[in-house]
Every structure is written in structure tokens, then in C-alpha cells.
Structure 1
Amino acid sequence: MYDWHTIVGTGAAIIMTALVVPYVRGVLREDTRPNPVSWFGWALLYAIAAAAQASKGLDWSLTIPVIGAFSASTVAVIALRAGKALWTPVDRFCIAVAILAIILWAITKEPLTALVLSIIADIAISIPTLYKTYLDPFSEPWLLWIIYVTTVVLEIIATTELTIYNLLVPLYSLGVDALITLFAFRQFIPTISQAHKKSLSD
């Protein structure tokens, strides 16, 4: 018989994976405008985090980096094929910082250090999307991000092994995802909403 950890973890994982479909549809419709730099970086970093976390044992919190790697790589490929790649100086700088952190991780080979370095790299990778979403809150689907944040919370709740290895990445991910959601919510600020409507009518 499954306990509540399994039920909550499985449900959240299914929802988290399913969110890729409406997000990709938004990209293809050009309603959603992701930054491929961030998404490719997230795919790589989630994979690293999953490997480091798995080395310390399997737990429901592991689904966050595993599904994150799959989802991020899917979105990145679709975004590139849709011609959404923008390589700004900020993007290049963030990529350089992320690569440096990944190289340091490869040198250390220590799980906790790998997790910390992956977070440092993730901060750099997340900056392009955070910056883009702040400037253009309409470029990200706020509802999907709310649902995603909720699933991350559920996965954390479903965690049975409350260790730094199992909680560090999910808690960090929760913070970044919540910030993106908050920036996307700026589209409801009257002045921003009116300016957006005016730009569409021009």
C-alpha cells in the first residue's frame, strides 16, 4: 500500500511533466517567449544536480531535477527551432559563469560541493530569464508558473529524507521559480498592462 509521500510525490511529478505541453504550445504560438540560454543551462544543471543527489540516495525530491532536465531541454530545443535564440552580452557572461562553476564541479567530484556549484551556475543561467520576464512579464505564462511552483512545494513536502542533499536544490528551485512567477505577475500592473495593449494596437 502506498503512503501519502508516494501519492503526493507521484501526483506532483505527473503534473510537473504535463506542464511542458502547454508551455511548448505557447512557444509555438509565440505567446510565450523563453530564453533558450536559460533553458539549455537549466537542462544541464538539473542533470548535474540529479546525478549528485542520486549518489546520496533516491527520494521523491529527486524528481524535481530529473523532470527539470527533461522539461528544460524540451523547451530549449523548441525555442531554438522557433527562432527564439537571443545571445546578448548578459547571456554570454552568464554562460561563462555557469561553465566555470561546472568545471569546478567536475574537479571537486564531491556531491555537496557539486550541488552548491550547480546552484551558483543556476543563478547565472537564471538571470537572462529573470531579466527578460521583469522587462516583459507577458513573455511568460503566469498560471503555468504558479502550478509549477505548487508542484515543487508538493515534492518538497513528499520528501522522506530531510537532508541537505535532498532539499538544497528543491528549495533553491522554489525560490527562483517563485521569483519568475512574481515577475510574470507584473503584467497585471495597470500601467504595464495598458502599455502592452497599446503596443499591440499600434
Structure 2
Amino acid sequence: MDLKLIIAIIASALTIIGFIPYLKDIFTKKTKPHLYTWLIWSITQITATVALLYGGGKFGSISLIVGTILVLFTLLLSFKYGTKNITKSDKIILALALLAIIVWWQLESPLLALFMVSAIDGVGYIPTIRKSFVDPWSETISFWAMMALVDLLAIASNDQYNLLTTTYITTIFVANIVIVSVCFFRRQIIQKRK
């Protein structure tokens, strides 16, 4: 069996394993996903997955496909269990995510669209980072850490390495590390104050 396929299967399994405590925490109302963040991520991750396939990522796209299904499920849950404090900037980010899809369709430029969705996805983390800064216990750190590991494995399982296959995954890797860091350090600071 191809090593890259094995890495892709491991990344996909870790994606599912990583989502289990996150979903459990949503159902127990410990974690409150931000509605617009997950809506933006649904749009951007679908676009990025298609771009990764288009760019020849092959096995690298497997964990993104699995992740996209789980992101869409989390989006649905965020309507009932999530945070809905939607700001003007959240609406702008959503509009930009939709614009990236139009750019791809109209200009037939998957790379430009991918740069847009990578930037938008990175900015799409801001509502969750903002929420986590205020309430660092409102997110499940193990989930975000697992997703950062999955991102590294997804890059390793790519069949080809180019801007189409690495840009998006690298962006979300960095953003996942930021959320882990914000939650971890803010928990330490708030705990010390008590």
C-alpha cells in the first residue's frame, strides 16, 4: 500500500477522532461553535478541497473531504447549540468567502480563488479566536490540536506539492495553532487571577 495513502487514512481517522470530543462538548453545551465561523469554513473548505483535487493533491484531499463532512455537520449543530453574536465584520468575511467562489467560476482561476479562501478561512477564525480570548473554556483544545496534526499529515500525504495543494492546509494549520495557544494561555491567565 502506498505510504501517502496510509498517511491520508491516518489523517482521516484522526479527523474523526478529533471531532468526537468536540461534538460531545457541543451536545453537552460546553463548547459553543460560532455560527458564522462554521458557515464560512463550510464554504471555504469545500472550495479548498476542490482546488486541492484540481491541483493534484490526490490522497491529501481525503482528510479534507472527511473534514468537510464534519464541518458541515458542525455548522448544522451551531444553529441550535452555537454562539450567534454576529458582527458586521463576520458578514463581510462571509461575503468575501462567497466572492472567492464567484472568482473561480468567472475567472477560471483556481489559484486566485484558493488564495482568497485561504485568507478568508484564516480571517474566518477571528470570531472563534475572539470568543476564545474572552471565554477560553468555550472551545475544546484537544480538537484544535488534533486538527493541527491532521493538517500536517494532509500535507505529507499530498501527491504533488504546489500552491494549490499546500496553501490552504498551511493556513488552517497556523490558525489551529493560534486557537490552541489562545485557549491554553488565556486559561492560565484567568486561572491565576482567581
Show the 5 A alignment for 1:89-100: 89-100=88-99
CA distance in 1, matches of 2:101, 2:123: 12
Give the superposition deviation at 1:58.
4.5
Report if aligned partners of 1:48, 1:118 keep a CA contact under 8 Å in 2: yes
Report if aligned partners of 1:59, 1:166 keep a CA contact under 8 Å in 2: no
CA distance in 1, matches of 2:54, 2:97: 22
Deviations 1:44-79 (A, max 9, x none): 111111112212334222134322321211111112
1:52 to 1:3, Cα distance in 2 relative to 1, 3 A? closer
Give the superposition deviation at 1:83.
5.3
Moved more, 76-85 or 21-30: 76-85
Q: Aligned pairs, how many?
A: 194
CA distance in 1, matches of 2:104, 2:117: 8
Q: Which has the higher Rg, Structure 1 or Structure 2?
A: 1
CA distance in 2, matches of 1:105, 1:3: 32
Deviations 1:10-49 (A, max 9, x none): 1111110232222111011111111011111101111111
CA distance in 1, matches of 2:101, 2:33: 23
Counterpart of 1:192 in structure 2: which amino acid?
Answer: I
Secondary structure at 1:19 match in 2: helix
Show the 5 A alignment for 1:105-144: 105-144=104-143
Counterpart of 2:129 in structure 1: which amino acid?
Answer: L
Secondary structure at 1:57 match in 2: coil
Report if aligned partners of 1:43, 1:68 keep a CA contact under 8 Å in 2: no
CA distance in 1, matches of 2:82, 2:157: 38
Which residue is 1:193 aligned to? 191
Report if aligned partners of 2:144, 2:176 keep a CA contact under 8 Å in 1: yes
Which residue is 1:159 aligned to? 158
CA distance in 1, matches of 2:41, 2:117: 10
Counterpart of 1:165 in structure 2: which amino acid?
Answer: L
Structure 1 unaligned regions, length at least 5: none
Q: Percentage identity across aligned positions?
A: 22
Which residue is 1:149 aligned to? 148
1:140 to 1:194, Cα distance in 2 relative to 1, 3 A? same
Does residue 45 (structure 1) correspond to residue 49 (structure 2)? The answer is no
CA distance in 2, matches of 1:5, 1:105: 28
CA distance in 2, matches of 1:176, 1:5: 24
CA distance in 2, matches of 1:29, 1:7: 34
Counterpart of 1:5 in structure 2: which amino acid?
Answer: K
Give the superposition deviation at 1:105.
3.1
1:121 to 1:102, Cα distance in 2 relative to 1, 3 A? farther
